[in-house]
Amino acid sequence: MIQVERAWSQALIQNPHLYDSSLKALLEEQTEEILSHLIPEVEVEDELNDEELKPPLPTDRLYLAHYRKESCILHIGLETEGGSESVYRLLEYCGILDQKYHLPIVPVVIYPFRTRKSLPKTPLSVKVGKEAILNFYFRILALWNLRAQEFLDKQAISMYALLPTMQGATYDVLKRALDEMKDGYGDNEKLLAEQILLFDTFLLRSDMVSLENKEKIYKELDMFYNLIEERRLVRKKMADSRIQGKIEEAQQAILEIVQNRFPSLTDEIQQKIIEIKELTLLRSMIRQLSAAPDENVARWLLSSPIA
């Protein structure tokens, strides 16, 4: 039991965004199937590119969809903490999305784990005196309120990775889920590996499964050990590759801004940006250089980050 608790704590220390990114990965793999179970009245047509939004949505998903047969933008927010911060982020993006797509926005926040902070209440109401000048409605999906057995009964295999977060996640339920995942994804080793890895990740954090049952399930997961470790390695390589690609794109964007606005600084910037490997810093430089009023300010901006 101590080993289980120690592993859980260590995972959070090493990667505080582990669960947000895992839920995002789950939606990437089987979007329509999962959302059909979580939000049955919404029919997803296509995923939208959230990188076009400024600022980007690091742990959220955007979809062109139909809500009760009406065209809309489905905005899924993925959260592991409570509090009102996520609501204000939803509200901010709602304005951005409405301006960009001119379609109704359906905001949904998914919480996989019980949180220390209270969950936000819908609608968010902004008042002047007694008059409401804004009522912002959104939907909350707290997975711990769902029942694992219901998804087993429906053989909703796309949801099985999330079963450890739900009510009634007993050893027998989770063991059956693992067996059915192995049979259902047997011909697709990549998808099986990804789903087992996600199952393992959510089990690690979940407080819906007793420590005794966790240890019993970990023994069942031993048979998938090589598959899980191989998938973890693939994920790391893919993440490293994506980050490197975004760094190179940001470096190129800076170079093009300087070439167009301050051509005399081109040689200097080519030498400097290759030294910068922090994506956040590069994106900040893009914003600042785009707004720089003259060459002197641009030169100062280029020298400051490396100083």
Secondary structure of residue 307 in the 3-state scheme: coil
Can the peptide bond before residue 123 be classed as cis, meaning omega within 30 degrees of 0?
Answer: yes
pTM exceeds 0.75, yes or no: no
Longest CA–CA span in the chain (Å) reads 69
Reported for 273-276, long-range contacts at CB under 8 A and 24+ positions apart, including other chains, are 275/306, 276/251, 276/305, 276/306
CA distances to 4, 73, 171, 182, 261 from 218, rounded to whole Å, are: 9, 39, 10, 15, 58
What does each of the 307 residues of the chain score in pLDDT, given as a tens digit?
A: 434 443 444 444 345 455 666 777 777 778 889 999 999 999 999 888 766 565 666 668 899 999 988 999 999 988 877 777 778 888 888 988 998 899 999 999 999 888 888 888 899 998 999 898 999 999 999 999 999 999 999 999 999 999 999 999 999 999 999 999 989 887 788 888 888 888 988 998 889 999 999 999 988 888 777 766 776 666 666 667 777 878 888 888 888 888 888 888 888 887 788 888 888 888 888 888 888 888 888 888 777 644 3
What is d(CA 25, CA 28) in angstroms, rounded to the nearest whole number?
5
3-state secondary structure of 73: strand
Identify which of 237, 154, 159 has the alpha carbon closest to the alpha carbon of residue 202. Answer: 159
Taken in order 72, 106, 75, 159, the sign of the CA dihedral is negative
